[in-house]
Amino acid sequence: MEWECCWNRSVIELGDCPNILEGDEDLLDSPRRRILEKCSDCERFRRDLDHFQDSGHPLAPVFSLVHSEYQRQRLHIQSLISFLDNKTLEIRFLHELGSVLQSSVDLEEVLSVALTAITAGKGFGMNRAFLLMTEREHAVLRGYLGIGPRNLEEASHIWQEVSSQDMDLQTLAQNFRQNKLSAERAKFHDILERLTVPLSATGHIVVKALDSKKPMLVEDAFHHPDVDPSFAALLGVDTFLLMPLISRNRRVGMIIADNCITHRRITDEDMHSMETFAFPVAFAIERAALYDRLQVELNRVTEAGVKLKEQQELIVRMEKMALVGRITSSIAHSIRNPLMIIGGFARSMLKNSENDPRRDFIESIITETRQLEGVLDEILNYSDSLYPTRDYWDINQLIESAVRDIQDRLVASGAECRFSPQPGLPLVYVDYKQVSYCVRTIVSSDIDGRDGGAVTIRVHQQDDTIHLHIEDPRRIVSADELEALLTPFGITHDMGSGLGLALCRTMLEKHGLPFLVVAPPQGGITYRIILPTRKEEDHHEQTTGS
C-alpha cells in the first residue's frame, strides 16, 4: 500500500511534510513526536487513514476509533490548558489587586484601584463602571464615582493611550488617581447626582441585588420587570452587571458595570471573576472609610487634648488671678480702713487748729494719706483690669463722663480739659471702666504738678476704629521722662510717680488696643488710643511710647 503521509519514515527532509516548517527541524528525525504532534491533524495522514479503512484490514475500524478518541481528548486537554491559563492570569491579577488594596488605607486610592481594575483591559475589561457608596446616616446608596468613556471617540482615544503605555494595574490606578479622578467625577456628575437609591426601596433592582449579596446580571433592562425605566434610561444600556460590595455583612456599596461602547456580552465567567474581586474591594473600602473616621476621631481627640491643656493653663492662671484678687481685696480692707481713719481724724483736727503750731504736721498727714489712697486705688484698678468686660459704648458719653469725674481736680489745678463730642460716631467695643480710667489717668497725669494748662481731647473715625487723641501742646517731655512715665512706679520730675500711665498701657495693650505716646523734642505731647467698633476686630498691633 502506498502511503501519502511521511509517518512511516524514520527520517524526513524539510518540505516532505506540509505541517513541518522552519523551527520544527527537531521533528525531522523523531517519528514518534512527529506522529503525535503533527500527523493527527495532517490531511495526508487522514487520506492514508481512509485508505487503510478501505483496505478491509480487521484493525482498521479500531484504529479509526482510537484516533478519533485521541483527537477528542487532545481538544479537551487544550481547552483545559486554555482555561488554566486564563485562571492563572486571573489569579495573578487578583493577587496584584489584593496586594495594592491591602497596602492602602486611602479611600480615594482604593476606589481608583477598584474601578481601574474593572475597566482596564488587563483587568475585567468592562467599558464603564459606577460606584455607589452606602450613606448610613441618610440610609441611601449614593453615586460616588464613575469611570470610562462616554462615547466611542473617547473610548478609542483612551484605549489607544492605555495600550501604548503598557502599565501594570498599580501604575494605571495611580495615574488615574493623580490625573483623572476629579475629571471623571465631573464627567459623570450628571449621572452620579441622580444615582441615589434609598435603602428602604426594596423593590429597586439595586437594593434587591444588595440585599441578595450576590452579583446580578441585568439583561433587557428597558423591559425588565424589576428595573425602573428611568434608571435604565439614566444608564443608557440594556445590559449591566450589579456587584454588591459586602464586608462583614455590612452593605458597603454597589458597583454597576457595563459595556456601553463595545456591547460585548457579559458572561457568567465575568460575573464569577468579579464576585471574587468584590470581597477584597468591599473590605478595603470599609477599612479605608474606617481609617478616615479614625483619623477624624484622632484629630478630635488631639484638638480636645490641646483644648484641655489650654483650659488647665487657664485654670492655673485664673487661680493665680483669684489669688491676686484675694490679696488686693485683703489690702483694700486692711489698708484703706486705717488710712481712712488716720486721714479722717487728721482732717477733723485740722478744722479746729487754726492757731495750733502742729497744723503743718496735720496737713502732712492728710497729704500723705491722700497719696497712699491714690496708690491703693491704682493697685485696685490693676486688680479690676484682670477681668475686662467689653461691650458697645458711646465714646462721646464715655469721655464726657470721665472728664466730669475729674472736674474737681481740674478746677483745683486751674487746668482745663476741652472736648467737643463728634456726632455720628459708631459705638466702640471696649471695657468701659478701663477706657474711662485711661482717659482720667492720662488727663490727670498731664495736669499733675502744674499750675493751669489745657488738655484737648479729640475723637475721629478711621475705617472700623475710633482714634482718641489727648493732646497738650505746651507740655515738654524728654525721652527719658517719657520712658519713666510708661514704666510702673517710674518717677518723673513734673508728672508724679506711680502706676498710672504704665497701667493704662498694660490694660490697653493686653486687650490689643494700640496705645501711642508722641512727645517730639520741640514740645507737645499726644496720647493716641485706637478703639475697635466691631467685636471681631482684633487689634494685636502693639505700639508703645516714643
**Where on the chain is the footprint of another protein (CB under 8 A)?**
329, 332-333, 336-337, 339-348, 351, 366, 369-370, 373, 377, 380, 384, 433
| Residue (348 or 542) nearer to another protein, CB | 348
Report d(CA 203, CA 108) in Å as an integer: 31
Nearest Cα residue to 270 out of 91, 441, 124, 466: 124
- CB nearer to another protein: give 335 or 518: 335
Query: What is the C-alpha to C-alpha distance for residues 348 and 199, in angstroms, rounded to an integer?
Result: 91
Q: Which is nearer to another protein, 405 or 483 (CB)?
A: 405
* Minimum gap (Å) between residue 531 Cβ and another protein: 21
| Of 348 and 478, CB closest to another protein | 348
Shortest separation between residue 346's beta carbon and another protein, angstroms = 7
Q: Answer for the pair 515, 527: CB distance below 8 angstroms, yes or no.
A: yes
Q: C-alpha angle 385/390/393, rounded to 5°?
A: 120
Q: How many CB atoms lie within 10 A of CB 248?
A: 8
- Hey, which residues does 244 pair with through a beta bridge? 254
Task: Report the nearest approach of another protein to the CB of residue 343 (Å).
Answer: 2
Give the pairing type, strands 196-198 and 216-218: unpaired
Closest to 63 (Cα-Cα) out of 78, 77, 45 = 45
CB of 341 to another protein, least distance (A): 5
Best CA proximity match to 408, nearest among 395, 417, 399? 417
d(C-alpha 158, C-alpha 145), whole Å: 18
CB of 330 to another protein, least distance (A): 10
Q: Which is nearer to another protein, 136 or 351 (CB)?
A: 351
Q: Which is nearer to another protein, 88 or 371 (CB)?
A: 371
Q: What are phi and psi of 199, to 5 degrees?
A: -65, -20
CB of 337 to another protein, least distance (A): 5
Cell numbers found for residue 405: 469725674
Q: What is the nearest approach in angstroms of another protein to the Cβ of residue 137? A: 46
Report the residue number, 409 or 528, with the smaller CB distance to another protein. 409
Cβ atoms 247, 213 nearer than 8 A: no
- Please, which residue, 272 or 333, has the CB nearer to another protein? 333
What count of residues does the chain have? 546
What is residue 429's three-state secondary structure?
A: strand
Q: Which three cell numbers stand for residue 74?
A: 487532545
